[in-house]
Structure 1
């Protein structure tokens, strides 16, 4: 689960060939197994999201297993970013995997469908560190940052980076000025690289942990905007990246698509079991950024959608 940005309508002209939404999607069937005879609400809709969401345990397979939801079509857009948001706004998809901290939810009045069966696991921000770099000082600094990272703080920083278009480094600096770590020299003598994915929230978080480490005396090389988990996780595993702010539930599912862990404690246990011995997962932050099935207000009203389960109703 890697996350969001808004830049929106102009991005749609990238020539991704997103299909128009509407009843045609239920006639053709879709890449996740819907057939032309389907008559549920979901069978009439196009779902959009990342390539990873299509196959991971709590993505399309989880929606089908836990709710009996099978969409008429699935269109790969991006990871909860501007292509996904723009496609939902413009009616090129009818539902989307968008993350809970995304400012587009408020801006466009999207409706987040409730998840009573906890298909989507906890997604706490969790620092991952190469074991050889995880000195007591480095761990203390990173855990101190996580301890100050509340849900509201994360939402506010994401809004500043996306809606207000502030530089992620400046957003992180302002947060640390208000929430000082004050551990001078704690990480002295350690050289490491800090990575991030290529969406604003991840870049803000990368800057946040990187700046805290630098202020504590570590020599840090920033490697931001790497891309999706398929790109950055192998680099973390190989040690070319030494620290990465991850989403514990998404990574646990990525490493073990059979996991049913849901709560933060369950997810952390599953993650620690699945991680290679070369990587350490530190204390998760209270802040989370969960996957959410989003629809527009018009779609919610048209099909009387409140919960994900409502998508499986006969229409």
Structure 2
């Protein structure tokens, strides 16, 4: 979900993903789309008239296009492969290149651009608590305690504010991370993780880069030797890297990670999702303590689109248009 990881790097990575994941003819808005979001695209529902945009992974995730169809009976006319809630998706929504986007709920563009987050009354999107996914070989007592202190302190309001600094104000994620750790008293130099070498990765969106930098700076402050590999891409890319040791640690989100490892999972609450996740994380990986900070996927539209079609809920998209 490091744009130390500059915006240029984000855009470059997302464009590459779009080039690989998008095919088919141009849609009515001139964009190259992936065809119909499902075989029934082009029906009479509101969604059938709209273009949805998001990451390549969202096309196949259980709570992505398949979940929208299964839970709400919502089938979009076409899907535009962009990025994971990043600037390509946000700008495409602002510019009318897509009609709806998968955007994270802590994204400052929602408030800044007056976007409307469609309600999710059937809980398609489970709890999404931020937590570290780590190779067990690196989960030493010192690393575990250091990251627990981060999780115990990070909440949703804080994460949203930090996102403003990085995404809106274009500040360096590493500097923002270190500034926050200093502010909350977690930047004190210690030796808890001394002697440990950790390779930290991130997915290719700004918040995840920020979280990776927070983990990295916290571990450095406790004596660990840390290298970063930012903007890796989607889980299909970085989960194998965690397993083979090319990276050791990455920030994750509990609900979507549970569905990645167990597509049939039904847990919704934070506690239930975390308990279920601990049981299905494959060797040699494990999850450490989760934070109270959550960042859920959301189907987001502009106010103009919401007003035109009287949209307040995802379910409204399945109504006749």
TM-score for both structures, normalised by structure 2: 0.89
Tell me what 2:270 maps to.
Answer: 264
1:314 aligns to 2:315 (yes or no): no
Residue by residue, what CA displacement relative to the aligned partner does 1:258-303 show, whole Å, maximum 9, x if unpaired?
Answer: 2222111222123222211311211111111100000000000000
1:152 aligns to 2:154 (yes or no): no
Tell me what 2:142 maps to.
Answer: 137
User: What SS does the corresponding residue of 1:220 show, helix, strand or coil?
Assistant: strand
Q: How many residues align?
A: 306
User: What SS does the corresponding residue of 2:48 show, helix, strand or coil?
Assistant: helix
**Whole-Å Cα distance in 1 between the matches of residues 97 and 298 of structure 2?**
18
Tell me what 1:286 maps to.
Answer: 292
**Superposed displacement of residue 207, structure 1:** 0.9
Tell me what 1:197 maps to.
Answer: 203
**Superposed displacement of residue 55, structure 1:** 1.1
**Whole-Å Cα distance in 2 between the matches of residues 300 and 117 of structure 1?**
19
| Aligned partners of 2:200 and 2:249 also within 8 Å | yes
**Superposed displacement of residue 215, structure 1:** 0.8
Unaligned runs of 5+ in 2: 20-24
Describe the shift of the 1:35–1:169 C-alpha distance in structure 2 as closer, same or farther (beyond 3 A): closer
| Aligned partners of 1:19 and 1:92 also within 8 Å | no
1:121 aligns to 2:126 (yes or no): yes
Tell me what 2:22 maps to.
Answer: none
**Whole-Å Cα distance in 2 between the matches of residues 102 and 256 of structure 1?**
27
* Residue correspondence of structure 1 range 68-83 to structure 2 within 5 A: 68-83=73-88
1:221 aligns to 2:227 (yes or no): yes
Describe the shift of the 1:6–1:292 C-alpha distance in structure 2 as closer, same or farther (beyond 3 A): farther
TM-score for both structures, normalised by structure 1: 0.90
Describe the shift of the 1:213–1:39 C-alpha distance in structure 2 as closer, same or farther (beyond 3 A): same
Unaligned runs of 5+ in 1: none
| Aligned partners of 1:194 and 1:210 also within 8 Å | yes
**Superposed displacement of residue 40, structure 1:** 1.1
**Superposed displacement of residue 35, structure 1:** 4.1
| Aligned partners of 2:50 and 2:98 also within 8 Å | yes
**Superposed displacement of residue 97, structure 1:** 0.4
**Whole-Å Cα distance in 2 between the matches of residues 29 and 77 of structure 1?**
14
| Aligned partners of 2:2 and 2:202 also within 8 Å | no
Describe the shift of the 1:279–1:75 C-alpha distance in structure 2 as closer, same or farther (beyond 3 A): same
| Aligned partners of 2:2 and 2:173 also within 8 Å | no
| Aligned partners of 2:2 and 2:210 also within 8 Å | no
**Whole-Å Cα distance in 2 between the matches of residues 203 and 7 of structure 1?**
12
Tell me what 1:19 maps to.
Answer: 27
**Superposed displacement of residue 29, structure 1:** 7.1
**Whole-Å Cα distance in 2 between the matches of residues 48 and 127 of structure 1?**
27
**Whole-Å Cα distance in 2 between the matches of residues 30 and 304 of structure 1?**
23
| Aligned partners of 2:53 and 2:98 also within 8 Å | yes
Point out the more displaced range, 264-273 or 83-92: 264-273
| Aligned partners of 2:49 and 2:77 also within 8 Å | yes
Q: 1:277 aligns with which of 280, 283, 288?
A: 283
RMSD: 2.4
Describe the shift of the 1:20–1:6 C-alpha distance in structure 2 as closer, same or farther (beyond 3 A): farther
